Amino acid sequence: MLTQTEAARRRVVGGLMLDRVAADGRLAIWRPQSGLDRAFPLGGHLTHRILQGDPRKIVIAHSSVRAIAKSFDQGEVQVS
């Protein structure tokens, strides 16, 4: 992903947060050998729907980018 981001000369890559839960709703023990999909097979935007949180997140940012709180609410990321 970094190679593609640099090749496209993008300084910020955004994504969506996906809340993951166990099939029975409990907090499952995660073991790397089994993987996240097996431990937490259900996903959704719980933070967004229940807490009205913004699911948009900065996934990768160049060191020249200064991200501020609520930057997505402003429609842009503040760049220094």
Q: What pLDDT, in 10s, does the model give residues 23-73?
A: 898 877 888 898 888 889 988 888 888 888 888 888 888 888 877 665 455
SS3 label, residue 65: strand
- Does residue 34 lie within any of the structural domains? yes
Dihedral angle over CA of 29, 26, 17, 5, nearest 10: 20
Domain count, the chain: 1
- Does residue 73 lie within any of the structural domains? no
SS3 label, residue 36: helix
Which letter, b or e, does each residue of 45-70 get, where b requires 16 or more Cβ atoms within 10 Å of its Cβ?
A: ebebeeeeeebeeeeebeeeeeeeee
More confident residue, 78 or 63: 63
Which range marks the domain in which residue 33 is found? Answer: 2-61
pTM: 0.56
- Does residue 68 lie within any of the structural domains? no
- Does residue 77 lie within any of the structural domains? no
- Does residue 22 lie within any of the structural domains? yes
- Does residue 70 lie within any of the structural domains? no
- Does residue 71 lie within any of the structural domains? no
Q: What is the pLDDT of residue 79?
A: 43
